[in-house]
Copies of this chain bind each other. A is one copy, B any other.
């Protein structure tokens, strides 16, 4: 006996999500059957809505309901600084900090020779175009601390520095509240290299 067609299709849909295998998908599907009808309708509507109502900001590439996005349109932000991140969710993470008042640029990926991702495949050309604005004084590179993230940071730094714009990278070191004992070697190395006088 097969699962009834509607359940089988829902299981398949859940399995398209990252980190969800057959067993979890089946559990979620049966849970969905027991959910209140309004809740399931709301779920379906919100799925369709993220594809229909969201787009990317034509300036910074962030996810937005309106173009340009809230941040690019905000006159109170400091236009002299652009912080470069890999993905839209990194913008949200930075904004949660409530300290940074400059602009953003979302690359939508990182350089990866292994996967054939070159500068033209991610939002590097649009970043370079933005740098023609003479008001820009600093580019802060906040790609992730992975091999590809570091390589992308190096690449951008070499490209942007000759234009006389300051290029900085987020500090790497121990997480606040973490134990030295459990830190990996690379993080410890970065923490020692980046030590500051008290």
Query: A: which residues have CB within 8 A of B?
Result: 1, 3-7, 9-10, 12-13, 16-19, 24, 26-33, 35, 37, 39-51, 53-54, 63-65, 70-71, 87-89, 92, 95-96
In the bound complex, residues from chain B placing their C-beta under 8 Å from that of A40 are 47-48, 50-51
Residues of B within 8 A of A65 (CB): 4-6
Cβ B41 vs Cβ A10 within 8 A: no
**Residue in chain B with minimal CB distance to A91:** B1
Contact: A10 with B92, CB < 8 Å?
no
> Copies per complex?
2
Provide the residues of chain B in CB contact with A6, threshold 8 Å.
Answer: 46, 49-50, 53-54, 65
Q: How far is the CA of A119 from the CA of B29 in the complex (A)?
A: 27
**Separation in Å of the A14 CB from the closest CB of chain B?**
8
CA distance A32 to B47 in the complex (A): 8
Q: Is the CB of B16 within 8 A of A43?
A: yes
Chosen A-B contacts, 5 in total, with CB atoms closer than 8 Å, are: A1-B95, A6-B46, A7-B63, A41-B48, A43-B47
Chain B residues positioned under 8 Å from A92 (CB to CB): 1, 3
Q: Cβ of A13: which chain B residues have Cβ within 8 Å of it?
A: 39, 42-43, 46-47
Q: Which of B7, B31, B88, B95 contacts A54 (CB 8 A)?
A: B7
Q: For A46, list chain B residues within 8 Å (CB).
A: 6, 9-10, 12-13
Residue of B nearest to A74 (CB): B1
A30 and B88 contacting across the interface, CB-CB below 8 Å: yes
Point out the residues of chain B lying under 8 angstroms from A12, CB to CB. Answer: 46
